[in-house]
Chains A and B, each alone.
Chain A
Amino acid sequence: MKREFREGESMSTGIIDVRDWQVTVDFQTGNKIELENELTGMVREIIRNNRYPGDMDLRSIDWVTDMGLRLADKYNPDFMFLSYAQPYFFSAYGQGTPGEWESVMKRIFDNVEKFLAGTDFWPVVVGLGRMTDLLGKIDLSILDCLAIATNWSLQYAGLFNPTAEDVEKVMAMPKLEKVISKEDFVKEYGGSESFIKRFPDYLLTAEEGYTFKGFESTSRKIKKIPAKNIEIPIYTTLGEVNSLIDIRGLIDSVLPEKKVALIVIEAIGAGDFEYEYKLCSNKLNSYIYEHIESQYLAMTTGKHFQYHPFPPVFKFFEEDNENKSYPFSGSHYTLPQDTIGRRKDIKSGAVGTRGMVTHVASGADICIECYARQLSNMGTLAVINDTKNE
């Protein structure tokens, strides 16, 4: 079942399926490779026979479950990570009628039940926080400096090399909750060297219901954005969780004696959560997590956002060049090695409709995720990580 590596190749393999056509790549370089073994054959077969329906298609909820069941059956992992992102897409970009939302919720929890009934995992189910109506945008394009506001982080924006006048203008902007300088942030939060190096000169936080527009924004209409979810609902019978970073420790404490499935559902708060939940903290000081990579990584590594390499806003375009490795992994130059899925004593699998984040945050031996960009359905990506078994 193991891949044989040639000199210069990474220990991760990507298999891309774009309907009736597949290609295998070295995941570090992105270059095509020829590789056939039992494991790649198994993964190819799974993704070939279950096409991703698309971000705005309700059947994509079933897709996660079906893929998860197939992977659990064929690979028999000790740890499974499932990410249901569809509620986010429906909430942010859909029609948003109450009837539509109810059917999304029903389908989600029916699917979670189906997965759990078809496997023997102990569940840890987390709702990543409710959405709220978009009330308005704070326009940063009036500033002289580079003011970055991206769809990756809707509640936060960053200023780079602002003038004194820029800072003055920002301070007077309505609906702005907080402005924190890099210096003050580092004093309060600390953080990894790579995180601090990339951190903007000023980090801006919008009030609930507001987002930013500026350099890097798009005009795609968005109806709802993540609310200020200070706490998020969690269901598990495995033990107590006070903060989202405790999830890692809880799962670590029972693996490998118990098989565990960490199931995350985006855009769901306590009000929509169907299981008997407890609330856990979704923040650190004044920083509140959104449905982005930092929230996923906090759960799967047990470390808060400032100990990961990338702040909520940074100049990704400066690094997105031919020297960047792992081209299918967004901003990452290496795949994080401190995630649950990288534990050396377990087998792990992951399926998700939050592309890129699923394989980055789970670190699972086998990850299957949709390959969609800006709601365009490009197909499916599977990642096979072999390093920990070497």
Chain B
Amino acid sequence: MYAVVDGEIRERFPNTWSTYHATHIEQIPFFHAYPGSRSLLVGTAGCNFSCSYCMNAYVAKEKPENLDLFELTPEKLVKTAKLSGCHNIVFGVNEVTVSLPSAINLAKEAKLHNLPMGCLSNGYMTEEAAGLLADHMSFLNISLKSLSPEFYQKYAGVTDIKPVLRNIEKFAVKNHLEITTPIVQSVNDHEIEEIAKYIRDIDPNIPWHVFRLLPEYKMKDYAYPDIEKISEALQKAGEILPYIYFSNFVGSPWVSTNCPECGKTVINRISLGTCGAKLLNNLLLENRCPGCGEKIAVLEDYEKGIPGR
């Protein structure tokens, strides 16, 4: 949220947060970054999209001045992360670009204390903003809602998809990137194969989270996504892209990581509902499959840079 003050763009609510709490990174979700680590999840309020199905409308679609928020400096948040034993910090809950200076300042402070920082984003931002995120975030999960401009216009309230695709391609080169696609039954479920191909062409090691969207907010009357049908489509897409996950339903069998080479389950997770999952065990040996030795693209502390790229 910004205002022009004396000819300068200023953040309206700097260092003003809607939540700060500890969770496991799989819940956010990141499945290929620091598996099993504890994250300090922070968020602010507001969004630059107006998605008809928003799950976090209570904070993303609410004006910050109407919410009971926290005034917390980057130093305080980093200290809290350390007090609660968090390995990293993630900006989630709402769109990071509405509070970009606060997020960047937090990332800078976190870096001083060797805490990696990541974020969730819809990817809809200027090249300059994307450059800032790429420079300061160690890992990102970008929501690619569709490959259709019409979908973005009708369901997200923005005019163009191009900035999202441009930024995804930029982040994939520089950062650890995961992609999430919410599936709306009969609206974008036919795009599964096409999106898988798009991601593969950027980098086949990018994990893709397909999200079973519950009909909420302005789409309450829509159908619940058909799990069997989507699973069938994802099974086929698995021949295109090795790391596909399907979540937001309890007990999903699609949340573990299998070795693309030998098929062995190398990171076992359980879905407790909501968007991510929970780690049960990580069998990787220095990011390699214990069965066949294949390298699995997972961001870990002992690796400098991004493994598997």
Pair B23/A18 contact, Cβ less than 8 Å: no
Question: A187: CB under 8 A from chain B?
Answer: no
For A45-81 the 0/1 string (1 means CB < 8 A from B) is: 0000000000000000000000000000000000000
For A28-43 the 0/1 string (1 means CB < 8 A from B) is: 0111100000000000
Instruction: Give the distance in Å from the alpha carbon of A219 to the alpha carbon of B45 in the complex.
Output: 9
Pair A322/B19 contact, Cβ less than 8 Å: no
Between A30, A328, A377, the greatest number of chain B beta carbons within 10 A of the residue's beta carbon is seen for A30
Which one of B133-141, B165-173, B174-182, B245-253 contacts A? B245-253
Pair B70/A20 contact, Cβ less than 8 Å: no
- List, in ascending order, chain B residues with CB within 8 A of A328's CB: 250, 272
Pair A146/B36 contact, Cβ less than 8 Å: no
Instruction: Give the distance in Å from the alpha carbon of A328 to the alpha carbon of B250 in the complex.
Output: 10
Instruction: Give the distance in Å from the alpha carbon of A153 to the alpha carbon of B119 in the complex.
Output: 29
Q: Which one, B21, B38, B45, contacts A216 given CB within 8 A?
A: B21
Question: A336: CB under 8 A from chain B?
Answer: no
Question: A2: CB under 8 A from chain B?
Answer: no
- List, in ascending order, chain B residues with CB within 8 A of A217's CB: 19, 21
Q: How many residues of B contact A (CB 8 A)?
A: 44
Say whether chain A's binding surface is mostly helix, strand, loop, or mixed: loop
- List, in ascending order, chain A residues with CB within 8 A of B282's CB: 322
Residue of B whose beta carbon sits closest to that of A137: B68
Instruction: Give the distance in Å from the alpha carbon of A320 to the alpha carbon of B86 in the complex.
Output: 13
Question: B105: CB under 8 A from chain A?
Answer: no
B229 to chain A minimum Cβ distance, whole angstroms, is 10
Pair B67/A219 contact, Cβ less than 8 Å: yes
Question: B228: CB under 8 A from chain A?
Answer: yes
Instruction: Give the distance in Å from the alpha carbon of A20 to the alpha carbon of B185 in the complex.
Output: 14
- List, in ascending order, chain A residues with CB within 8 A of B270's CB: 30-31, 327
Pair B84/A20 contact, Cβ less than 8 Å: no
For A354-389 the 0/1 string (1 means CB < 8 A from B) is: 000000000000000001011011110100000000
Which A positions have Cβ atoms within 8 angstroms of B? 16, 18-21, 23, 25, 29-32, 137, 139, 141, 144-146, 160-161, 213, 215-221, 315, 317-318, 320-322, 327-328, 371, 373-374, 376-379, 381
Q: List 13 additional contacts besides A31-B280, A315-B84; criterion CB under 8 Å.
A: A16-B250, A20-B224, A30-B272, A137-B68, A160-B83, A161-B83, A215-B22, A220-B58, A220-B59, A317-B23, A322-B280, A376-B214, A379-B250
